[in-house]
C-alpha cells in the first residue's frame, strides 16, 4: 500500500521533496499552499553549492537550459573601496557533473514545479488543526476539508503558522539585528569588479554580495547591514548612513528597484509532538544569510526525508532530527563567524582580517575543513 505524504508550503524545500517523491511509485503526495498561486516573478538570485546541486541533478537539474544558470569559479574579496584583497577558488568543490551554481530563484521554482503534475499542488489551504489517530495524521483545514496521511512535512517558512498550530505553542522568530537590501544590477554598474565571479565587499557593520545569475550576466546584489531596531527607516537613509558613507561611488549599485526586509533567525529547532510530523527548510531552522546556505540546506533536508522514508527507516523522526540538528549547528556557527568577520569596523582589525584572508584562501586544509564539510 502506498504511503501518503502531505507537504505544507510550495517553496524550494517543499517542491524539492515533492519532486523527489515523484520518482518513487511507492508514494502518494500532495502539496498544500496557503497562497493562490506560486510566485514565479523574476525575483532575485540564489546560490546553490555542490551539496544541493548533486541532489537536484537526480531530478534533471543538469538538463535545465544552460543560459538560465551560471557557474562562478571564484569568490573575490574586496574592501569597501573595492580594492581586491584575494580570491577563493570555488571549483575546488566541483565534480564533473556538479558545480557551484547561481540562478534566479524563480527559475529553480519553475523547474521544480514542472516536475510535478498540475494537480499535485492545492492552493488556498491553511491548517486549522491536526491529530494523530492509529498512526496516521489527520489534517483539518480552515475551509472545512481534511486529509489523512502517513507523514506531514511542514515547509512554510520562518514565520510558520502551521508549526504553531500543530505544537499548540506560538513560535516567533528572532530579529537578527540586521536588514537585507536586494536589487538587480547591470554589468556596466560593476566595471571595477570581475563580472565572472562572486564579489564580496566588506564594510563597517555591512557587506555586499554581487553575482551573475545567468549567461546574460544579469546580476543579483544583496546587502546585509547591521541595524539595531526593526523600524522601517527608508532604504535610502540606511544606505547613506552605512555603505555610501564609506564609499559614495557605490551609489550606482542602488539605482534599481530596491527591496528591503529585516532578517530573522529561528530559535532552537524543535521535534514535533507527533512522530509523523517533520519540519523542513526555514520552518525547521532559518540561518543567518552569511553562508548562502538557505536554499542548499532546504534541498538537503528534503533529500534526507526522502531517503529515510524510501528506506522505511524504523525511527524516521529521531534520525532526521539528529542529523539535521548536527548539520544546522555546524552551518550556524560558520554563518555567525562570517557575519562577524565581514562586518569588522575597527581599522586595526580590518588590517589583520586582510592579512588572514590572504593566507587562509591558500590554505587547502583550512578551506576543506571550513567549507568542504558544508559543500560536500
The stretch 216-236 carries a mean pLDDT of: 88
Cell numbers at 81, concatenated = 573601496
Cell numbers given for 306: 526522502
Q: What is the pLDDT of residue 143?
A: 96
At residue 186, does pLDDT exceed 90?
no
Provide mean pLDDT across the span 31-50: 86
Quick check: 41 pLDDT over 80? Answer: no
User: pLDDT at position 152, please?
Assistant: 98
Candidate from 79-88, 118-127, 367-376 with smallest mean pLDDT: 367-376
Residue 32 has pLDDT above 70, yes or no: yes
Query: Among 115, 105, 100, which residue's Cα sits nearest to residue 44?
Result: 105
Task: Identify the pLDDT of residue 42.
Answer: 62
Other C-beta atoms closer than 10 Å to the C-beta of 1 total 6
Picking from 116, 169, 160, 164, the residue whose alpha carbon sits closest to that of residue 280 is 160
Tell me the mean pLDDT in the region 17-38.
Answer: 94
Q: What share of the chain is helix, strand, coil (3-state, %, to 5)?
A: 40, 25, 35
DSSP character string of 260-314: EEEEEE--S----SSTTEEE-GGGT----GGG--HHHHHHHHHHHHHHHHHTT-T
For residue 43, pLDDT over 70 is answered with: no
Lowest mean pLDDT among 40-44, 166-170, 266-270, 332-336: 40-44
DSSP 238: H
Whether the per-residue pLDDT at 230 is higher than 80: the answer is no
Torsion sign (Cα): 2, 117, 23, 311: negative
Residue 190 pLDDT grade (very low, low, confident, very high; cuts 50, 70, 90): confident
pLDDT score at 350: 96
More confidently predicted of 148 and 216? 148
Cα–Cα distance between 170 and 154 in angstroms, integer? 15
Task: Calculate what percentage of the chain has a pLDDT beyond 70.
Answer: 99
Q: What single-letter DSSP state applies at residue 233?
A: -
Q: What is the mean pLDDT of residues 254-259?
A: 91
Helix axes 12-21, 105-114, angle to 10 degrees: 30
pTM listed for this prediction: 0.95
Q: CA-to-CA distance for 148 and 139, rounded, in angstroms?
A: 6
- Given a cut of 80, whether residue 267 has pLDDT beyond it is yes
Q: Where are the alpha helices (DSSP H) in the chain?
A: 12-21, 50-56, 105-114, 161-167, 235-241, 243-246, 294-310, 316-342, 347-360, 364-370, 372-375
231 confidence band (pLDDT: 50, 70, 90):
confident
| Residue 10 in grid coordinates | 510550495
Q: In whole angstroms, what is the distance from residue 34 CA to residue 32 CA?
A: 7
How far apart CA 350 and CA 348 sit, in angstroms, is: 5
Mean pLDDT, the chain, whole residue set = 94
51-77 pLDDT, tens digit per residue, is: 999 999 999 999 999 999 999 999 999
At which residue does the C-alpha cell 590554505 appear?
A: 363
- pLDDT given at position 37: 83
Amino acid at each position: 500500500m502506498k504511503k501518503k505524504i502531505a507537504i505544507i508550503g510550495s517553496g524550494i524545500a517543499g517542491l524539492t521533496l515533492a519532486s523527489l517523491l515523484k520518482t518513487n511509485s511507492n508514494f502518494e503526495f500532495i502539496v498544500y499552499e496557503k497562497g493562490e498561486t506560486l510566485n514565479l516573478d523574476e525575483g532575485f538570485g540564489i546560490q546553490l553549492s555542490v551539496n544541493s546541486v548533486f541532489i537536484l541533478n537526480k531530478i534533471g537539474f543538469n538538463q535545465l537550459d544552460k543560459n538560465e544558470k551560471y557557474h562562478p569559479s571564484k569568490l573575490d574579496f574586496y574592501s569597501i573601496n573595492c580594492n581586491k584583497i584575494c580570491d577563493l577558488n570555488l571549483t575546488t568543490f566541483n565534480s564533473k557533473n556538479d558545480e557551484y551554481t547561481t540562478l534566479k530563484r524563480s527559475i529553480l521554482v519553475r523547474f521544480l514545479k514542472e516536475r510535478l503534475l498540475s494537480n499535485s499542488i492545492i492552493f488556498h489551504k491553511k491548517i486549522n488543526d491536526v491529530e494523530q489517530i492509529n498512526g496516521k495524521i489527520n489534517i483539518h483545514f480552515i475551509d472545512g476539508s481534511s486529509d489523512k496521511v502517513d507523514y506531514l512535512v511542514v515547509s512554510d517558512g520562518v514565520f510558520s503558522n502551521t508549526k504553531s498550530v500543530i505544537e499548540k505553542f506560538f513560535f516567533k522568530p528572532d530579529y537578527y539585528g540586521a536588514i537585507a537590501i536586494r536589487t538587480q544590477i547591470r554589468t556596466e554598474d560593476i566595471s571595477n569588479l570581475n563580472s565572472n565571479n562572486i564579489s564580496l565587499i566588506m564594510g563597517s557593520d555591512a557587506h555586499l554580495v554581487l553575482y551573475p545569475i545567468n549567461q546574460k550576466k544579469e546580476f543579483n546584489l544583496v546587502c546585509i547591514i547591521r541595524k539595531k531596531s526593526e523600524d522601517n527607516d527608508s532604504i535610502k537613509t540606511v544606505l547613506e548612513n552605512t555603505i555610501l558613507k564609506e564609499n559614495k561611488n557605490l551609489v550606482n549599485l542602488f539605482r534599481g528597484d530596491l527591496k528591503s526586509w529585516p532578517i530573522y533567525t529561528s530559535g532552537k529547532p524543535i521535534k514535533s509532538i507527533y512522530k509523523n510530523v517533520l519540519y523542513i527548510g526555514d520552518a525547521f531552522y532559518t540561518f543567518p544569510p552569511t553562508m548562502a546556505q538557505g536554499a542548499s540546506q532546504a534541498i538537503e533536508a528534503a533529500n534526507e526525508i526522502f531517503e529515510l522514508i524510501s528506506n522505511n527507516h524504523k525511527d524516521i523522526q529521531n534520525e532526521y532530527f539528529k542529523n539535521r540538528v548536527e548539520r544546522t549547528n555546524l552551518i550556524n556557527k560558520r554563518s555567525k563567524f562570517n557575519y562577524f568577520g565581514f562586518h569588522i569596523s575597527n581599522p586595526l582589525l580590518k588590517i589583520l582580517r586582510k592579512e588572514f584572508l590572504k593566507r587562509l584562501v591558500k590554505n587547502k586544509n583550512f578551506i576543506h575543513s571550513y567549507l568542504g564539510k558544508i559543500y560536500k
